[in-house]
A = this chain, B = another copy of it.
């Protein structure tokens, strides 16, 4: 896969995160793509509103959509790009789906479970461990999140 294809995958994830932002969702998105061809088989953003399900993180929705599309619980030929470091739930899910490559944008000091917190790929012995690279387009990925939480705080203060 060439760099141009990778750039398209990242741009799609950021576009999905922007969609989520406009809907009032936390702007995090995930894209699952074929490791050789770069073909995108699933893309999803957080869908985590109050009446939704708390586990509807971008990665979970993308994995479910990809497995349904491929007709297999294992996604061994695919990689996943996420705009933010996955939480422990999503990091374990990526492992259960045997996705061999995890790329992410911004690090998540509070909620991340890959290079922060539970660091589950290091601490959970029985997991399939993907190759991990973080920090990809991290400024762009983080900017949207910062804007979202700034808006939330301002709205809270305006109502206080």
Contact = CB atoms under 8 A, between A and B. Distances in A.
Chain copies in the assembled complex: 2
Contacts of A118: 88, 113, 118-120, 123-124
**Nearest 6 A-B pairs (CB), nearest first?**
A89-B92, A54-B96, A117-B124, A118-B123, A54-B73, A54-B97
A23 B123 CA distance: 32
Given A51-B73, A73-B48, A93-B54, A119 B123 contact: yes
Contacts of A110: 125-126
Interface string A16-45: 000000000000000000000000000000
Given A73-B52, A113-B124, A93 B97 contact: no
A119 to B, nearest CB: 7
A124 B63 CA distance: 23
Q: Is the interface of A mostly helix, strand, loop or mixed?
A: loop
Contacts of A50: 72-74
A49 interface: yes
A53 interface: yes
Nearest to A98: B54
A129 B80 CA distance: 29
Contacts of A52: 67, 73
A113 B48 CA distance: 24
Given A53-B67, A53-B68, A125-B110, A92 B97 contact: no
Given A48-B73, A73-B48, A88 B54 contact: no
